[in-house]
Structure 1
Amino acid sequence: MNPMRALRQYQKVNSHAQISEASPHRLIQMLMEGGLDRMAQAKGAMSRGDIPQKAMLITKAIDIITGLRQGLDEEKTDDKAALEQLDSLYEYMAVRLTLANAKNDPEIIDEVARLLITVKSGWDAIAPQ
């Protein structure tokens, strides 16, 4: 068996196990981590001139941010204004990543990554209920 294929299969099984055992709070953290990973990988693809890979990774990052946005609908909070601000921020991130893809601009990816890191650090500071 191909060792790289075996490693990917192990990682896939391991990530499925982590997901099935994760709390809703941890799932959000994992999504944010995945988005940041895809952005970093997209920058690498960009620097190598691998346009198809860059586009695929930015699309995955946008999909993750879209998932985070959709998850806001399920939040139970009295602070609707905060949810609307976060929704607008996620929308901004998706638009900026689309522009980064079109312009092949790693600085825009850095901007979005910094925003997501800020949101994630706030989320990380909230202890699971």
Structure 2
Amino acid sequence: MSYQNAYDGYHAVNLDTQTSRASPVELVLLLTDGLLDELARARAHIVARRYEQKAISIDKCLEIINGLSGSLDFEGGGDTVTNLARVYEFCANHLHRAGIKLDPAMVDEVTRVLSTIRQGWKGIQDRNG
């Protein structure tokens, strides 16, 4: 077994452990943290001109964004949820264009927006224990 396979196995078990006992807010934070990590990889792939890896990273990011958006409670969330859905849609569209234009600054903008959203979720977690 290679080092990378061992690391991937450990990471999968660790993630399973974290998600099995996480609250909904903690799950959003875990997903957002993973998304931010993958955005950094996508940006690095653009800068290094590793286009195949860039495409894979952007696809992973889009899957996470779509998962976050798809889990929103539109019936109970009101305007806040509607606005959050719009922000996720902006991020997905902007990231898609960043991949086409090969523009790391566009990835940076998505990262800033999602980091702000993460801070909001973290504030909710801190207030609710």
Common fold by TM > 0.5: yes
Structure 1 position 81, deviation (Å): 1.3
Q: 2:85 is matched with which residue: 87, 90, 97?
A: 87
Distance 1:116 1:75, change over 3 A: farther
Match of residue 56 from structure 1 = 56
Secondary structure of 1:126's aligned partner: helix
Match of residue 95 from structure 2 = 97
What is the distance in 2 between the residues matched to 1:59 and 1:20? 25
Distance 1:123 1:104, change over 3 A: same
TM-score, scaled to structure 1: 0.91
Letter in 2 for 1:110: D
What is the distance in 2 between the residues matched to 1:15 and 1:75? 30
The answer to which structure, 1 or 2, has the higher relative contact order (CA under 8 A, 6+ apart) is 2
Distance 1:18 1:75, change over 3 A: farther
Q: Which moved more, 1:6-15 or 1:58-67?
A: 6-15
Provide structure 2 residue ranges, at least 5 long, that are not aligned to the other structure: none
Secondary structure of 1:49's aligned partner: coil
How many residue pairs get aligned? The number is 127
Match of residue 4 from structure 1 = 4
What is the distance in 2 between the residues matched to 1:113 and 1:10? 27
Structure 1 position 76, deviation (Å): 3.4
**1:108-123 equivalent positions in 2, closer than 5 A:** 108-123=106-121
Distance 1:6 1:57, change over 3 A: same
What is the distance in 1 between the residues matched to 2:59 and 2:113? 17
Structure 1 position 50, deviation (Å): 0.7
What is the distance in 1 between the residues matched to 2:36 and 2:8? 20
Identity of matched residues, %: 37
